[in-house]
A and B are shown apart, each in its own frame.
Chain A
Amino acid sequence: MKTYTYTEKKDTRSGFGAGLAELGRTNPNVVALCADLIGSLKMNQFIDENPERFFQIGIAEANMMGIAAGLTIGGKIPFTGTFANFSTGRVYDQIRQSIAYSDKNVKICASHAGLTLGEDGATHQILEDIGLMKMLPGMVVINTCDYNQTKAATIAIADYEGPVYLRFGRPAVPVFTPADQVFEIGKAVQLQEGSDVTIVATGHLVWEALEATKVLHEQGISAEVINIHTIKPLDDKAIIDSVAKTGCIVTAEEHNFLGGLGESVARVLALHHPTPQEFVATNDTFGESGTPAQLMEKYGLNSGSIVEKALKVIKRK
C-alpha cells in the first residue's frame, strides 16, 4: 500500500488562483471575469498582472456568462469566477444557450462547491451542480481534489477547445498530489492498488478515500482508490478494469447522489459490468450552517462513511 502524506493544507481555490496567474503569463488569450468575488476566488494575482484582461462584472452572473460567450468571438479564452451555486443553477439557461449550445470556449470556474462552504448555509452550498453541468451536451465537468491538482487542471483546460465546468472548494485540505503533475482531462488517476473493493472518489472526498484505505487495511481489506477528477467525460475503462478485479465499488463525492459521480459510474457498470455499488453522497437534501468538518460528518461525507460503505458493499459481492 502506498503511503500518502502531506506537509500543508491549502484551499483548492488558491490552486485555481495560482493556475490562472500562470496562464496570465503564458497565454495572452486568457481573460478572466468575476462577479464581485475576487478575493474568494483568489484572482488577485491575475488581475494585478493583467488588469486589461480582467472584467469585473458586478453582481450579475447571467450577464457574466453571456459576456464570456461573447469574448470568445475574436479568440479570447474566458475564465469566469464565482461560487458554484452562482456559476450553475443561477445561470443555467445562459450557460445552456449562449455557451453549451453555442459551442463557446468558456471555462466556468466554480469555488465554494458543496457542504464545505460551511457556515453560510444551504443558500450557498450547491449539491446539484455536477448533475446540472454534466447534463449539458458537450460540457466537460471536472472536480479537483487538492491545491496542486486544481492548479494543474486550471492550466490544462485553457488548452482544451470547448466549454468546461471546473469545480473546487473553500476549505484548506491536504496537499498530496504532485506539484509537477500533468493534468489529463478524462483520465482517472489510480492512487492505491487493491483487490477487495474499488473506491472512486472526486474532489474533497479523494483524501477521505485514502484515509479510509488505511482503516480498511488494518481490517485486512485491500482497497483500490481511483481519483476521478473528470466526471465527464468519464474514464469508463479505469472503472471497468478496477471492478473486474475487485467485484464491488464505492463512489464518494460532495454532491447529491442524484446527478452526481455515483450515477455516472452506475451507468457505466450497468452497461458493461454490473457490480454492487454503494454511494457516499448527500441523500437528496439541502445542507445547513456549520463548520465544514461538522457538515461532512453529519451528512456522511468522510472517511468513516467510506469505510462503512466499503464493508457493506463487500458483503454484497
Chain B
Amino acid sequence: MSNENLKDLTTQVRRDILRMVHKVNSGHPGGSLGCAEFLVALYTNIMDRKEGFDMDGINEDLFFLSNGHISPVFYSVLAHSGYFPIEELNTFRLLNSRLQGHPTTHEGLPGVRIASGSLGQGLSVALGAAQTKKLNNDSSLIYTLHGDGELQEGQNWEAIMYASAKNIDNLIATIDLNGKQIDGATDDVLPMGSIKGKFEAFDWTVIEIENGNDIEAILDGMATAIAATGKGKPVCVLLKTMMGNGVDFMMHTHAWHGKAPNDEQLADALNQNPETLGDY
C-alpha cells in the first residue's frame, strides 16, 4: 500500500477509535491514537501475513499486543486487515461481543492469539511463540507492542533477560515511548532512566524511531529492525509517539489515557480527522 493510502487508512482508524470509545463511554483512546500509524504500517506493509486466521500461524509473521488496553486501535486495524467485518467494531465493549474491553482469544475473535490487559505478560508469550517458530524451522518473525509504563512490570525484565540469553533473534519488540501512564508522566510516576540503555545492557539490538507517528519513519525504522533479525540478538524498537495523536485536545496530556470523549468532543475530534475510507 502506498504511503498516501496508509495515511488515509490511519485517519480512518483514528475515526474508528474515537467512535468506538465514544459509543460505550469507555475505553482507552490516548494510547490507541498514538499507535495508529504503527499498527497500520505493521499490518499493511510490514508483516508477512496469510489470508484468514489460524491460531498456530505457521509460516506467517505474528503480532502480540501486550498493552491490551489499546484494544480500539488493535480491533480497528484487525478489521481493516480482513480478520472480521468492520461493522463488528460497533459491538466494542458491549455484552456478548467478541470485542471485549481488552483483547482475548476466549470469544474467538480472529486475529487475536493471546489475552492481554493485565500488563507485562506479552513479551514472555511472544518469546514462546518465537521459540516454537525455531523448533518448526519457520523463518517468519514475531512482532510485539508494549507500553513504556508497562515496563514497570517485573515480568518484562525476566523476559528481556531470557531473550538475549537464548539468542531469540526472530523477534522485534516495540516499546511505545509516549512517556505517559494513567497517573501522569512516566518520569513522575516511576522514572525508568534510559530505556535504551537498559535494553542495551541486556544485550538487545536497539533501533530508535524518533517520530513514531510518521509513516515513512516507521517503515524505515522497521526495515532496519527486520535487517537486524537473525543475528543472534533480540531486537527492540523504541517508538517515540504522541499519546492522543491527531486530536489536538488529547495530545500533550495523559488525561485521555482511559477516558472517552463526549458528543461535542467527538464532533471536534472527527472534524480534525475527515472521513477517508468511510465510517463503519
Contact = CB atoms under 8 A, between A and B. Distances in A.
A74 B58 contact: yes
Nearest to B117: A97
Interface residues of A, number: 32
A62 B104 contact: no
A58 interface: yes
Interface string B5-24: 00000000000000000000
Contact of B115 (A57, A67, A97): A97
B162 A68 contact: no
Interface stretch (B27-35, B133-141, B239-247, B266-274): B133-141
B127 interface: yes
A98 B114 contact: yes
B106 interface: yes
A42 interface: no
Contact of B114 (A58, A69, A96): A69
B129 A73 contact: yes
Contact of B118 (A55, A73, A93): A93
A181 interface: no
A39 interface: no
A65 B118 CA distance: 14
Interface residues of B, number: 39
Interface string B150-171: 0000110011011001100000
B115 A71 contact: no
Interface string B86-119: 0000000000000000001110000001111110
A186 interface: no
A103 B105 contact: yes
Contact of A102 (B57, B104, B135, B162): B104
A102 B115 contact: yes
A73 B113 contact: yes
Nearest to A67: B128
B136 A78 contact: no
B124 interface: yes
Nearest to A57: B162
A4 interface: no
B124 A75 contact: no
B131 A101 contact: no
B158 A60 contact: yes
B67 interface: no
A276 to B, nearest CB: 40
A73 B132 contact: yes
A102 B129 contact: no
A96 to B, nearest CB: 8
A70 B62 CA distance: 11
B116 A66 contact: no
Given A63-B158, A73-B55, A98 B125 contact: yes
B136 A75 contact: yes
7 contacts: A52-B135, A53-B135, A62-B121, A67-B159, A67-B162, A71-B131, A73-B114
Interface of B: 55-58, 62, 64, 104-106, 113-118, 121-133, 135-136, 138, 154-155, 158-159, 161-162, 165-166
